[in-house]
Amino acid sequence: MLIEQRPAAMSSSLTQTLNAITATKLLVLSKQHADFKIHSEKIVASVADAKSARERVQMLLDGINSWQSTDKTSSSSSGTYLDNVKEFLVQAQHDPSISETILRQWELNLNNLLNTEKVKFEYAELFGRLLSEWIASSASFPEKASQDPNLTSSEETSFDDVELPLSDSDTFERVGRKEMHEQRVTFESLVFSAKEINTVALDAYLDKLFSPKEANRILLEMREDLDEFGKEKLFLRNSFKIRDLESTINSLLVADLLSNDKRGTLKEFLSNKTVLTEVADVLNMHLAALPSWSWIPEGSSTDAIAVEMRRQLNGKYRIYMDEEILQAIFLHWIGLQWAAKFKHWFNKFARSSAWKLPHKPLTKVENERRQYFLNEDPNDWKDREYSEFKSVDQLRHAEHMKSFFMSQLPESLEDGARPYDDGEGEENKTDKPSAVAIKQSLLHILVTECLFNTFLYNKFTVVRSDFSWFGPSLPHSSILATLKFFGVPDIWLTFFKKFLSAPIKFVADGPMATTQIRKRGTPMSHSLSDLFGEVVLFPMDFAVNQRANGLFLYRIHDDFWWWNKESQPCVEAWQEMNNFARIVGLEFNNEKTGSVSVGEPLHPDLPVGTIKWGLLKFEETGQFVIDQSLVDAHIEELKLQLKACNHSVFAWVQAYNKYMTSLVNNFGSPPACCSGQRHVDMVISTLQRIQLALFPEHGGSVIDYLATVIQERFGVHDIPAGWFMWPIAMGGLEVKSPFISQLCLREGLPEDPKQVFDTALEAEKEGYTMSQESWDNGTTTRPYTENKSLRNEPFLSYEEYIQNREQRRYLWLQAYQDLTTMPLEHGVQLSSEMVAELGKLSDELSKLTGTGGISGTYYSMTPYWRWIVACFGEGILKKWGGLEVVRPGTLPVGMVEVWQTRKVRWEQ
């Protein structure tokens, strides 16, 4: 227990240190402001008594220089001008050409410098007051501060999980919304009642599925390896080492499991080798005593693991366990070890001849004809490990394996687990695509496939579904029977059964909460839960592949998508999935199940329902459109969430930025080229509608709304619009503009994405004509081996030439890749004056902002920030005489960054 308690004290010390630093900075800033007021008043008084313009300039110059000599943080950007004026005044004593007009201009410029210094202090103080408001407002809500700040959704939450439920009024009830209680009832009805399946029938199904020769050969090798791994290797070679512990902790930080305090403790583990050594020793002891492992150790003061409900932005609640840190590390490491091992063997299946590809290979005769007439080498399309793509089919297979096949299982311990959704504020320190990037790529592939198939074949069918309450409803008997089938030894089956049978009680029920044992489902955000889900679903992936002749099943967790130019393969897949679900004891979610056929009537054996991706719905036209009824629901929800943040401007802006980012992501943005400019125009139009609904009294302007709030609360007015958009590191509020991010993309998107296929078709026809002419005039390169049987055959017909386009025609691959490519962002140009002002920014500021804000060079900034500077920079210059609102180092930016990385707790 000492190891558990000590890092918590460390986290508390870190927080206290940051608070002390913040308080010191704000105190120093306040004192400097007060000193400057006194100093500037003295300057103004002395200038008022001056008898000439030259004398007034001299007094202003002396006053400003004397202030800057005492203020070590003062900017030196005006230093050159002040030095020059000093020399010019000497000249003015003797040179009559220095007129009264010139002297008055110097006087005006120096007064502007003095006023600018005053404004910088005012806004630095405003920033400090906003930060103090944020900290104080959080402390004033003990029910929030004392509970897990993780009670939130991901910034990248997918809004297609459920319809967004709303409260009956916009008043937040601390007892929770009606939907929370309804979902808890459903959860408890599942996890506390066992669902026994017919394991004999499941074994028979799996035996038959893996009975073909190649599949059975790999299965037998897999069983032997897993048995050895579980009995010997996992205990000996893979016992806890410091480097493994570091990898495990880094992976656990990505998972949305632990509270902010416990995450802070884990980060401190990483910086203390002594603690890491102690932790590794204890975990090795736990591993050696695996048969006696229990959720509740002997002598514990509790008999259950606390669980709590966390509301997501889509309205769905997830139930998380609040387990001890060492327990979390231990279980996470075990999950990663087994997951990597299973991923290795599942990849072997998918890359073997047992795994069918979507198109039948050409026959020997067809290959011979193409080799004879076109000099095509059939070996170019045989290898499944592609170093270079040559066809659409090769690209499909590679992308499927990379992003959608067993996507939740890591390749290794170092690879780590993939989060269900991307966390807020947690830096992605790996090269792995984020959860939202994978979901976006699925959308891009689907849209491209629809365009591709409707262009070439005039029809396309897509089906989408998922399991209802997959995590909570997954029968333990299905998990354990599938693990046993693949060869997991008994010692681990016993451990996994204990893990699944966790004693839990709800925090919300208070000290009298009832302890109950889980009898179904898997705990949220555990690597072992990811493992169990993928192991159970792998046979379904393989079964669909076998029955639907290589149809790709695009799967993210239990979210399934599949499509084809023909309806029948989609029907075969759906029937097999229903058969599998019945055997393992799962049910499909009718609200998220549907199908659409473009160019032909929907097959009667396919499920009827709307296909949605985020806030988009797929129409029979073959296009995704924004579901405006869902947008209306989210407008009302966002109003509620923003109202709950009225106690703090910073908290309000953070909630606004995160919610708007989630909305834009769930509009399918950023889009790939397949979506075209139409998609961005649709997003911009919807964003405009949202803003008008949120801020009707301010013409839809978030800036005007915040300006009104700050004026009423702090008495500051006439604030330039750019201040609201400016980076926090420079003293602004950093309100994110969703419009600018869309406008940066628009010019890089095609007006009509289908034109790329028109071009490809023309190139294909031209290629056929050239090949035929080359054959007829005898200039075609002949294969090494002459095929005498084809010597008198005429050249291929155009119909035979275009057969297997998706397997053999590189130009269609190029067109396909063009549409799945992300557009280049369009950046506006900056005036020479603005470029020069960027060059004046301090090196310290550039280090703070990096490529994530405004920095000293045009090319080091993203197109978004170039746009911000070009659009709002003039107002900043006019107000502050430069692009820095306050001086670097004077603001407690570090504390703001710490608070920003903490997860937003959305109102329950």
pLDDT single digits (tens) 238-270: 578 888 899 999 999 888 788 878 888 898 899
Amino acid letter at 455? Answer: F
Neighbours of 293 (CB within 10 A): 17
Task: Using DSSP, state whether 66 is helix, strand or coil.
Answer: helix
Helices (H) and strands (E) in the chain, counts: 34, 11
Least confident window among 60-64, 441-445, 635-639, 796-800:
60-64
pLDDT of residue 148: 36
pLDDT, average across residues 375-402: 77
pLDDT of residue 355: 95
How would you label 258-276 residue by residue, b for 16+ Cβ within 10 Å and e otherwise?
Answer: bbebbbbbbbbbeeeeebb
pLDDT of residue 821: 95
pLDDT of residue 485: 98
Residue given tokens 């055997």 in the structure block? 583
> For residue 385, what are the CA distances in angstroms to 352, 388, 549, 790, 806?
11, 9, 20, 33, 17
Q: Which DSSP letter does residue 230 get?
A: I
> Which residues have C-beta within 8 Å of that of residue 491, sequence separation ≥ 6?
230, 231, 290, 291
Distance CA 655, CA 657 (A): 6
Residue given tokens 């397949």 in the structure block? 674
Closest CA to 165 of 179, 182, 184: 179
Distance CA 486, CA 535 (A): 9
Between 872 and 907, the higher pLDDT residue: 872
pLDDT single digits (tens) 456-465: 999 999 999 9
Distance CA 597, CA 564 (A): 10
pLDDT, average across residues 606-615: 96
**Residue 906's Cα: distance from chain center in Å?**
18
pLDDT of residue 519: 96
What percent of the chain has a predicted confidence (pLDDT) above 70? 84
| pLDDT band of 391, cuts 50, 70, 90 | confident
pLDDT of residue 430: 53
Longest dimension (CA), the chain: 112
pLDDT, average across residues 289-316: 84
Q: Which tokens is 414 given? A: 């170092």
Task: Using DSSP, state whether 318 is helix, strand or coil.
Answer: strand
Backbone angles phi, psi at 321, to 5 degrees: -90, 140
pLDDT of residue 839: 85
pLDDT single digits (tens) 557-601: 999 999 999 999 999 999 999 999 999 999 999 999 999 999 999
- Using CA atoms in the order 400, 403, 409, 414, what is the torsion angle rounded to 10 degrees? 130
Task: Using DSSP, state whether 406 is helix, strand or coil.
Answer: coil
| Contact call for residues 801 and 768 (beta carbons, < 8 A) | yes
pLDDT of residue 162: 33
Q: Which of 368-372, 399-403, 576-580 has the highest mean pLDDT?
A: 576-580
pLDDT single digits (tens) 94-106: 788 888 888 888 8
0.85 exceeded by pTM: yes
- H-type alpha helices, 229-324: 242-254, 260-270, 273-288
Task: Using DSSP, state whether 564 is helix, strand or coil.
Answer: strand
Distance CA 310, CA 148 (A): 9
pLDDT of residue 868: 94
Distance CA 307, CA 548 (A): 42
Distance CA 475, CA 694 (A): 44
Distance CA 685, CA 679 (A): 10
- H-type alpha helices, 476-566: 476-486, 490-500, 527-547
Distance CA 158, CA 440 (A): 10
Distance CA 93, CA 110 (A): 19
Residue 337 has pLDDT above 90, yes or no: yes
Distance CA 643, CA 638 (A): 8
Distance CA 551, CA 541 (A): 10
| Contact call for residues 806 and 393 (beta carbons, < 8 A) | yes
Residue 17 has pLDDT above 80, yes or no: no
Task: Using DSSP, state whether 908 is helix, strand or coil.
Answer: coil
Residue 689 has pLDDT above 70, yes or no: yes
Backbone angles phi, psi at 345, to 5 degrees: -75, -35
Q: How many residues does the chain have?
A: 908
pLDDT single digits (tens) 32-56: 777 788 888 788 888 887 878 888 8
List the chain domain ranges. 2-140, 196-348+364-618, 627-749+826-901
- The mean pLDDT of the chain is 84
Distance CA 676, CA 819 (A): 9
